[in-house]
Amino acid sequence: MILEEIMKRRSGRAFSDKPVSDEMLESILEAGRWAPSCGNTQAWNFVVLREPDILTQAHDALSRGNAYAKAAPIMILLAAKEDGGCPAHGLPYFAMDVGLAVENMLLQTVHLGLLGHPTAGWNEAKLKELSGMREEYRIVTVIFIGFEGDLNILDERSREKEKAPRTRRELSEIVHWNSW
Ligand SMILES: Cc1cc2nc3c(=O)[nH]c(=O)nc-3n(C[C@H](O)[C@H](O)[C@H](O)COP(=O)(O)O)c2cc1C
């Protein structure tokens, strides 16, 4: 009953350096563009890094735990202006717009037989400087995209995480029927 891509998507770590075609990449970006957004503000911006020199510099901004991502041939910075979303409820809807675009992109990634991994472990200032991003923008997440490679390229800790089953809270814990 649930879309196959939703169930197959996982934040894998074993990337191969096999190149991703322009057509695949464009379809992932296009999938992001068609996400819903608050008042159709479409707060999202996608900064695609795939030149080897730029990627190498961007790798310096990654947290140690995200070192596995250096093997991915594509890194996308998802950024939005902090006040660029819908002003409703005083909530940061710019981040929700970006989140919805990210999930569309990740599902399209799965559809194409690729791995996509969203992250928060990086130095924002370094990535902003490297990409020439203006001050008023925030990087909400960075996603890594590529074909899946050999698990043996991972360090032991990442390999263990990779083998662990995906888990979620039960519906009975999070769904409140008619009242909380
Ligand atoms: C906003 C956000 C930040 C994340 N940051 C990281 C990260 O820095 N490093 C990492 O390896 N995974 C990161 N993840 C991936 C999550 O750990 C992963 O989605 C979660 O454990 C559920 O696993 P699944 O995506 O395989 O279902 C992040 C995910 C999200 C949505």
> Domain ranges in the chain?
11-162
90-107 pLDDT, tens digit each: 999 999 999 999 999 999
CA of 143 to the centre of ligand 1 (A): 10
Q: Whose CA is nearest to atom 10 of ligand 1?
A: 119
41-79 pLDDT, tens digit each: 999 999 999 999 999 999 999 999 999 999 999 999 999
CA of 10 to the centre of ligand 1 (A): 9
Which stretches of 34-143 are DSSP H helices?
Answer: 52-59, 93-111, 124-131
Contact residues for 61 (Cβ-Cβ < 8 A; gap 6+): 122, 123, 126, 127, 130
13 CA closest ligand 1 atom index: 11
pLDDT over 90 (residue 116):
yes
Pocket test for ligand 1, best of 13, 68, 119 (most atoms within 8 A of CB): 119
Which residues contact ligand 1 via a Cβ below 6 A?
A: 10-11, 66, 118-121, 141, 166
- Per-residue model confidence (pLDDT) at position 85: 83
- Per-residue model confidence (pLDDT) at position 84: 80
pTM of the model: 0.97
pLDDT over 90 (residue 17):
no
10 CA closest ligand 1 atom index: 26
* CATH value of 11-162 in 3.40.50.2000, 2.60.40.1840, 3.40.109.10, 3.40.50.300: 3.40.109.10
- Per-residue model confidence (pLDDT) at position 38: 94
Q: Whose CA is nearest to atom 5 of ligand 1?
A: 119
